[in-house]
Structure 1
Amino acid sequence: MTRRITWTLLVLTSVLLVLAVVPLAVLMTARERVAFRDSQRAATRVIAAVAEEHLSDHKPATVMRQELDAAARVGDCAAVYDASARLVASTPCGAARGVEAEELAEKVLSGHEPEPPENEGRLLTAEPAGEIRAPSGAVVLARSAAPLDARISAIWGWSAVIASAGLAASVLLSVRLARWVSRPLSRLDASAQRLGEGALDERADVGGGPSEVRRLAATFNTMAARMEALVHGHRAVLADVSHQLRTPLAALRLRLDVLAAGAGGDTTEELASAEEEIARLSRLVDGLLAVARAEQVTTRPVAVRVDEVVAERVAAWSPVAEERGVRLTAPDGPALSAALGAGHLEQILDNLIANAVDAVPEGGHVTLDHRATGGLVRVRVRDDGPGMSPEAKAVAFRRFGNPEAKGTGLGLAIVHRLVTSNGGTARLEDTPGGGLTVVLELPLRPEA
């Protein structure tokens, strides 16, 4: 945003400066040229006036010589020609004499007004001595164009300085303006990112920037506060209910154990059924607690070696799988690192392996593999069990969504929550030949 604002104001200022400064410099240059020529013609007319008295009235040439000497003192070159374009008198400088000067004098004597030419860095002007239609002679005056060129250079130099100063001021102001606008937006973006990562106490700064940005920050803080209250309230209710249920369930199970010890016959069977229901409720409460903990995760991505975690969890679950007659394997894969929260991959694999081992009948097989694909780490947990129906797969990641689940129905919900909170995806596929495959796609962390 800072660059866009800066470049926009810079281009706009440049266009305005070009449209304002360049025409002004051109106009001032033209005025300087006109003023210079007018001044030169006025000096020429003064000499032409005294030359006309000498040529037509035959007065002494003393005054004409004085004017020619005065012109020479200021650096001008002048020459007086008679009606036949013959040189009568001139200054020591020869710029007003020669072929070009004589041609200019002839044109003036013939009644024309020629365009002043330039000779050796000097501008030539010619004026008739006497009446224009019947002049008694002509005066040619050559004046150096250096003062004019210096004034024109000064005009364009000052114009460039003013334009550069305006452009520099525009850059400075545009950068300050862009930072004034973008800095609070950047802080607001960082606050939103931290809030999205789970820092529910994050609040934006409302003390800087335009009024619209301050209102946006205040609205963001209101939203964050309400979200924090709702999430904490939801977590608190879930955790409190789960904890409150565990105590009476444990007490009820103890009493049933006592009753079962002194009962017999049908009563023992009924008590055993009741104990199984109590155990199922206990697992359900434990699952709810696990869900509450999963929803409380604050994702702070770190580099997690997927190959090492997979090998570790397979080694940890192998005794359980062997006890149930299930083969648990993980072929060697590439050394890959994923950007995940600490301990999240272990919890994800524990839930998936537990579900797979429970679902596969004795003699079955569960396989874990991983590989890199398109900037992601793909982890698959495959089994050759009974699999899931399309209806069950559609709701498997919801809490209690799978009516076919043997356990609490919360394991895949925990997996989905942990995977998505880390920026990954989870889906269910059928295993070729029968069974279920859970496919996880996790963000790949490049090796340093």
Structure 2
Amino acid sequence: MTRRITWTLLVLTSVLLVLAVVPLAVSLTARERVAYRDSQRAATRVVAAAAEEHLSDNKPPTVMRQELDAAARAGDCAAVYDTSGRMVASTACTAAQGEEAAELVKDVLAGHEPEPPENEGRLVAAEPAGEVHRPAGAVVLARSAGPLDTRIAAIWGWSAAIGVAGLAASALLSVRLARWVSRPLSTLDVSARRLGEGALDERADVGAGPPEVRRLAATFNTMAARTEALVHGHRAVIADVSHQLRTPLTALRLRLDVLAAGAEGVTAAELGAAQEEIARLSRLVDGLLAVARAEQTAPRPTAVRVDEVVAERVAAWSPVAEERDVRLTVSSDGPALTVALGAGHLEQILDNLIANAVDAVPEGGSITLDRGRAGDGVRVLVRDDGPGMTDEAKAVAFRRFGNPKARGAGLGLAIVHRLVTVNGGTAGLEDTPGGGLTVVLDLPLWPERGGASRSLPVLKET
């Protein structure tokens, strides 16, 4: 944003300077040329007036010689011609002589006003001696264009200096203006990012920047304060519910265990059924609390090694799978991939998926975990060869109690979906080739310096 504002102001200033300075310099140049020409013509007329006294009035050429000498001292070259075009007198230099001068004299004696040429860095002017239509002669004066060129160069030099100074001042002011506007926005962006990462006490600076940015920062702080109060309130409710529900459930389970220890027959069967319902209710409460925590989670991303977590969870669940005659494996030794997830989230995700798969797969079945690169992220697959799901069941599987035919509480996939999406990933369900269900997790890749992760192989779906 700073660069855009700076470049916009610089381009605007450059255009304004060009539109203002260039026409001014052109106008001053034209005025200098006219003034220089007028000065040259005035000097020519002075010599012509003195020459007229000699040519028409037959006075001594003394005054004419004096004016020619004065012109020579001023650096001009002058020559006096009579009505026949013959040179009568001249300065020591010959710049006012030759074919060019003869053409000018011819035009003047014919009563015309010639266009003074500019050749080889000099200006040549011709004036009649006497009346314009009946001249007694003509005077040609050649003057160097060096002083004029010097003045014009000075005009353009000063114009360029003014333009550069204006552009430098504009650059300085535009940079300061851009920083004044963009720095509070950058700070606000950092604060918003930190709030999104879970720093609920983050607040923006409301004392810098334009009034609109300060109002935006104040609005952000109000939103952050309300969000913090809301999240803390929900966390307190969850903690209270967890304590208030688990304590009586635990006490009730203990009492049923005591009663079941001495019961027989029908009573023992009824108490056993009651114990199973209490266990199911406990799992349901734990699942609901887990979903609530996942929905309220604002995780701070950390670097999580997928291969290490997958290997750890497979090792932890292998005894349970073996007890049910289910084969739990990792497809291959894939690359070392690192994802950006909240602490402990990947473990919780895999635990729910493996638990669901172990419950769904029949004896002799298999569960396979795979991982690899997929586009700009990391893909984790959990495949099983169990009964799978219908399209209708897959459409609602990530909702709370979405699958009424689930063996458990129906909250495992809901927890997985909340944890994946809150970390910026996606979760989906697909059919396993040959029968079964495949859970597809696309997780954000942890940014690594140097781009070393770009050369990793891409995971292909089967």
The corresponding residue for 2:113 is 113
Q: Distance in 1 between matches of 2:400 and 2:234?
A: 15
Does 1:61 pair with 2:61?
yes
Q: Distance in 1 between matches of 2:224 and 2:303?
A: 29
The corresponding residue for 1:350 is 351
| CA deviations over 1:120-163 (Å, ceiling 9, x no partner) | 42211111111111111111111111111100111111111111
> Equivalent residues in 2 for 1:299-318 (5 A)?
299-318=299-318
Does 1:10 pair with 2:10?
yes
2:343 maps to amino acid: A
Tell me the CA shift for residue 296 of structure 1. 5.3
Q: Distance in 1 between matches of 2:441 and 2:121?
A: 85
Q: Distance in 1 between matches of 2:29 and 2:139?
A: 27
Is 2:197–2:301's contact at 8 Å kept on the other side of the alignment? no
Q: Distance in 2 between matches of 1:229 and 1:302?
A: 25
Tell me the CA shift for residue 293 of structure 1. 4.2
Is 1:288–1:410's contact at 8 Å kept on the other side of the alignment? yes
The corresponding residue for 2:191 is 191
The corresponding residue for 1:211 is 211
| CA deviations over 1:10-40 (Å, ceiling 9, x no partner) | 2222221111111111111111111111111
Tell me the CA shift for residue 433 of structure 1. 3.0
Q: Go from structure 1 to structure 2 and tell me whether the alpha carbon gap of 1:161 and 1:301 turns closer, same or farther (over 3 Å shift).
A: same
Q: Distance in 2 between matches of 1:405 and 1:201?
A: 40
Tell me the CA shift for residue 119 of structure 1. 4.4
* SS of equivalent residue, structure 1 residue 203: coil
Tell me the CA shift for residue 425 of structure 1. 0.7
1:161 maps to amino acid: A
Q: Distance in 1 between matches of 2:244 and 2:63?
A: 127
1:431 maps to amino acid: T
The corresponding residue for 1:282 is 282
Is 2:290–2:415's contact at 8 Å kept on the other side of the alignment? yes
* SS of equivalent residue, structure 1 residue 325: coil
Q: Distance in 2 between matches of 1:55 and 1:153?
A: 41
The corresponding residue for 1:367 is 368
Q: Distance in 1 between matches of 2:439 and 2:118?
A: 92
The corresponding residue for 1:441 is 442
Q: Distance in 1 between matches of 2:115 and 2:48?
A: 18
Q: Distance in 2 between matches of 1:207 and 1:380?
A: 49
1:198 maps to amino acid: G
1:410 maps to amino acid: L
Q: Distance in 2 between matches of 1:435 and 1:313?
A: 21
Is 1:85–1:105's contact at 8 Å kept on the other side of the alignment? yes
Tell me the CA shift for residue 290 of structure 1. 3.0
* SS of equivalent residue, structure 2 residue 135: coil
Is 1:41–1:127's contact at 8 Å kept on the other side of the alignment? yes
The corresponding residue for 2:413 is 412
| CA deviations over 1:388-410 (Å, ceiling 9, x no partner) | 33333222222333322222222
Q: Distance in 1 between matches of 2:205 and 2:165?
A: 35
Does 1:388 pair with 2:389?
yes
Q: Distance in 2 between matches of 1:116 and 1:311?
A: 98
The corresponding residue for 2:459 is none
1:391 maps to amino acid: E
Q: Distance in 2 between matches of 1:118 and 1:429?
A: 89
Is 1:380–1:437's contact at 8 Å kept on the other side of the alignment? yes
Is 1:238–1:288's contact at 8 Å kept on the other side of the alignment? no
> Equivalent residues in 2 for 1:171-182 (5 A)?
171-182=171-182
Farther-moved stretch of structure 1 (208-217 vs 190-199)? 190-199
1:20 maps to amino acid: A
Does 1:125 pair with 2:125?
yes
The corresponding residue for 2:20 is 20
2:43 maps to amino acid: A
Is 1:329–1:367's contact at 8 Å kept on the other side of the alignment? yes
Tell me the CA shift for residue 279 of structure 1. 1.3
Tell me the CA shift for residue 435 of structure 1. 2.2
RMSD: 1.8
Is 1:336–1:372's contact at 8 Å kept on the other side of the alignment? no
Q: Distance in 2 between matches of 1:194 and 1:401?
A: 34
Farther-moved stretch of structure 1 (384-393 vs 74-83)? 384-393
Q: Go from structure 1 to structure 2 and tell me whether the alpha carbon gap of 1:350 and 1:257 turns closer, same or farther (over 3 Å shift).
A: same
Q: Distance in 1 between matches of 2:235 and 2:390?
A: 32
Q: Distance in 2 between matches of 1:58 and 1:386?
A: 134
> Equivalent residues in 2 for 1:91-170 (5 A)?
91-170=91-170
Q: Which runs of 5+ in 1 are unaligned?
A: none
Is 2:330–2:369's contact at 8 Å kept on the other side of the alignment? yes
| CA deviations over 1:320-375 (Å, ceiling 9, x no partner) | 11111111111214213123233322221111111111122222211111222212
The corresponding residue for 2:458 is none
Is 1:333–1:370's contact at 8 Å kept on the other side of the alignment? no
The corresponding residue for 1:86 is 86
Farther-moved stretch of structure 1 (105-114 vs 430-439)? 430-439
Tell me the CA shift for residue 295 of structure 1. 4.2
* SS of equivalent residue, structure 1 residue 183: helix
> Equivalent residues in 2 for 1:214-229 (5 A)?
214-229=214-229
The corresponding residue for 1:259 is 259
Tell me the CA shift for residue 297 of structure 1. 4.2
The percent identity for this pair of structures is 81
The corresponding residue for 1:402 is 403
Q: Which runs of 5+ in 2 are unaligned?
A: 454-462
Q: Go from structure 1 to structure 2 and tell me whether the alpha carbon gap of 1:31 and 1:77 turns closer, same or farther (over 3 Å shift).
A: same
Q: Distance in 2 between matches of 1:41 and 1:382?
A: 102
Q: Distance in 2 between matches of 1:206 and 1:395?
A: 45
Farther-moved stretch of structure 1 (289-298 vs 214-223)? 289-298
Farther-moved stretch of structure 1 (159-168 vs 195-204)? 195-204
* SS of equivalent residue, structure 1 residue 136: strand
Q: Distance in 2 between matches of 1:368 and 1:119?
A: 91
Q: Distance in 2 between matches of 1:310 and 1:47?
A: 108
* SS of equivalent residue, structure 1 residue 434: coil
The corresponding residue for 1:47 is 47
Q: Distance in 2 between matches of 1:119 and 1:441?
A: 80
Is 1:306–1:335's contact at 8 Å kept on the other side of the alignment? no
Tell me the CA shift for residue 174 of structure 1. 1.8
